């Protein structure tokens, strides 16, 4: 096949922000090429540079053997289907399509012939005299395609042309566009952020990120052999796991070795491993490669998306001291006030504010009509040392309560295997506070100040599970154990078989389902 377009080291910046960092890309004749990436990745900029609507700051564009950077848009043998179609509202369907031909002074009868052929190509026979502003989105789309194709360009550029259509119409147009491309036999360069669209239509996909090309390949190559974590995440759903390449055909993650089909990495090189959710099978316990527990099940129409936890997360157990009601009643002022003792981390003393104290103590005051009364006085003197300090809350009318703030050394559990740590504190609560809680798990996390973070970069990690064995509707005074834990290794599985949450299952996949990729940036 012949190269029709070559981008050579295209650089573009806007307001000192580099949007294209030296793009090199070859496009061949009769290809359906998709530039795929999230918004802001530079794909539309690249298309506009090719169309002649923007100038590159650096680099060359070779079109059919000629450098065309300095050729104005109207002299390029390229036509564009714009994002919002950009149909001329003052012209009808026929005149919109004939626009380019009339400029080229083509004779009337030939224009008519060509326009009519285009109308039938896009399935709009009989629409010639219609007002374009009264057409539906899909019809306007077809007019825009016909208007571009009637000029018989060598290359057609399509800038997210299906973005404004609804899902069903979009799917129809995807197939139709592909058919039109095959029928007219020219190069289509299609820009989209929709990975499914790219997979459906393209001969070649160019995945872009932050002004750089990540990977160029056929849809199957991109899907089955993503070059890095970014491409794997962008195309389809995937489980991406940190691992180590022990040897050719042998990869290690979560302390186990697994056979794979990849080779050519350095010994003990850290890698990312992709397992597609549809490549994993759930089997009875001990019948698979690893065991796990079903954590959640989502119905997705054709399949269920099941999250299976194969290694447990990091956990921390704390004691909740449940006290009876100890609201303080001020009969003269017709007010009541309540607050609870709490524990806090020595490291947090420096950043203590009134708002934190009020929230942690759950301090509140209210009057006989059950209206909230604001706290006029919040007094505490917490020293930067381990110990117990009094704290007084009072309303303007003098209703007051004193509690204890206990400052303790930070207590957290580290888990080297999961590379994370979790902390939580014992705490005091009254029976009423627990009964009144609307979202108990969230409140328990807040009351215990439960937090988990990555040991690698201290980024927060979600606390996935809160376990306790009391009935919050019928709780009595006493001490209760609460366990907070993070999610361990979670695997997303797509399967048509339903599984109950909590089921212990086996997990099975084949060596060829593990796709090993170099870490990004290497």
Partner 1 sequence: MICLPMLMIVFYAFTTQGNEVLTLQFTLDNFLRFFEDSIFPSVLWRSLKIAINTTLICIAIGYPCAYVISKLPGNKQSLMVLLITLPMWINMLVRTYAWRGMLNDSGLSNEMKVYIGMVYNFLPFMILQIHTSLSKMDQSLLAAAEDLGASKWQAFLKVTLPLSLPGVISGITLVFLPAVSSFFIPKLLGGGDFVLIGNLIESYFISTGDWNFGSAISLIMAVIILISMYITKKLDRQSKEVH
- Interacting residues with partner 1 (CB under 8 A): 51-53, 72-75, 78-80, 82-84, 86-91, 95, 99-100, 103-104, 147-148, 151
Q: How far is CA 13 from CA 7, 20, 45, 212, in A?
A: 16, 7, 10, 13
**Closer to partner 1 by Cβ: residue 92 or 310:** 92
**Closer to partner 1 by Cβ: residue 52 or 138:** 52
Work out how close the CB of 86 gets to partner 1 at its nearest, in angstroms, rounded to a whole number: 4
Question: In 3D, which of 474, 485, 357, 332 has the Cα closest to residue 422?
Answer: 485
**Closer to partner 1 by Cβ: residue 74 or 299:** 74
Work out how close the CB of 137 gets to partner 1 at its nearest, in angstroms, rounded to a whole number: 16
Work out how close the CB of 374 gets to partner 1 at its nearest, in angstroms, rounded to a whole number: 45
Work out how close the CB of 182 gets to partner 1 at its nearest, in angstroms, rounded to a whole number: 23
Contact 483, 316 (CB under 8 A): yes
Work out how close the CB of 140 gets to partner 1 at its nearest, in angstroms, rounded to a whole number: 12
**Closer to partner 1 by Cβ: residue 72 or 185:** 72
Largest CA distance in the chain: 99
**DSSP helix/strand/coil, 264:** coil
Distance (Å, whole) CA 151 – CA 36: 26
Helices (H), 316-474: 354-361, 431-436, 440-447
Work out how close the CB of 488 gets to partner 1 at its nearest, in angstroms, rounded to a whole number: 51
Contact 235, 489 (CB under 8 A): no
Work out how close the CB of 104 gets to partner 1 at its nearest, in angstroms, rounded to a whole number: 6
**Closer to partner 1 by Cβ: residue 118 or 434:** 118
Strand order across the 427-430 sheet = 375-380, 387-395, 400-408, 342-345, 427-430, 315-323, 478-486, 463-468
Burial of 101 (0-12, 13-18, 19+ CB in 10 A): buried
**Closer to partner 1 by Cβ: residue 130 or 397:** 130
Measured from the Cβ of residue 326, the count of other Cβ atoms closer than 10 Å reads 12
**Closer to partner 1 by Cβ: residue 73 or 510:** 73
């Amino acid at each position: 096949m012949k190269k029709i377009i070559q981008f050579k080291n295209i650089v573009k910046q806007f307001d000192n922000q580099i949007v294209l960092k030296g793009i090199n890309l070859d496009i061949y004749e009769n290809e359906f090429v998709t530039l795929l990436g999230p918004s802001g990745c530079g794909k539309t900029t690249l298309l506009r540079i090719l169309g002649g609507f923007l100038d590159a700051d650096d680099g060359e564009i070779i079109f059919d053997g000629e450098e065309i950077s300095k050729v104005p848009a109207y002299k390029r043998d390229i036509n564009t289907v714009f994002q919002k179609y950009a149909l001329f509202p003052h012209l009808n369907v026929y005149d919109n399509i004939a626009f380019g031909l009339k400029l080229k002074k083509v004779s009337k009868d030939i224009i008519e012939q060509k326009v009519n052929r285009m109308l039938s190509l896009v399935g709009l026979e009989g629409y010639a005299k219609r007002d374009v502003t009264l057409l539906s989105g899909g019809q306007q789309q077809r007019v825009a395609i016909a208007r571009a194709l009637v000029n018989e360009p060598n290359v057609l550029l399509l800038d997210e042309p299906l973005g404004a259509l609804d899902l069903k119409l979009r799917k129809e147009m995807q197939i139709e566009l592909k058919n039109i491309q095959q029928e007219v036999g020219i190069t289509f360069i299609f820009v989209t952020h929709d990975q499914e669209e790219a997979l459906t239509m393209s001969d070649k996909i160019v995945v872009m990120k932050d002004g750089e090309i990540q990977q160029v390949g056929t849809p199957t190559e991109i899907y089955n052999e993503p070059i890095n974590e970014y491409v794997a995440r962008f195309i389809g759903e995937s489980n991406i796991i940190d691992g180590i390449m022990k040897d050719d055909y042998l990869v290690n993650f979560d302390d186990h070795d697994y056979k794979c089909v990849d080779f050519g990495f350095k010994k003990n090189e850290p890698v990312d491993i992709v397992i597609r959710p549809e490549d994993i099978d759930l089997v009875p316990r001990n019948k698979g490669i690893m065991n796990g527990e079903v954590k959640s099940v989502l119905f997705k129409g054709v399949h269920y998306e099941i999250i299976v936890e194969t290694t447990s997360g990091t956990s921390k157990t704390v004691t909740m001291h449940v006290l009876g009601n100890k609201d303080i009643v001020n009969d003269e002022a017709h007010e009541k006030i309540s607050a609870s003792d709490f524990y806090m981390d020595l490291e947090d003393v420096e950043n203590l504010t009134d708002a934190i104290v009020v929230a942690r103590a759950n301090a509140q005051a209210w009057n006989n009509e059950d209206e909230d009364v604001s706290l006029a006085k919040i007094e505490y003197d917490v020293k930067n040392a381990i110990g117990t300090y009094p704290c007084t809350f009072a309303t303007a009318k003098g209703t007051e309560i004193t509690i204890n703030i206990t400052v303790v050394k930070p207590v957290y559990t580290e888990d080297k295997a999961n590379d994370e740590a979790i902390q939580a504190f014992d705490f005091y609560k009254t029976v009423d506070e627990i009964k009144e809680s609307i979202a108990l798990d969230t409140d328990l996390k807040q009351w215990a100040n439960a937090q988990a973070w990555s040991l690698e970069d201290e980024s927060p990690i979600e606390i996935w599970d809160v376990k306790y064995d009391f009935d919050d509707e019928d709780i009595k005074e006493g001490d209760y154990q609460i366990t907070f834990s993070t999610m361990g290794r979670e695997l997303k599985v797509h399967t048509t078989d339903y599984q109950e949450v909590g089921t212990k299952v086996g997990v099975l996949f084949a060596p060829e389902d593990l796709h090993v990729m170099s870490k990004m940036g290497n």
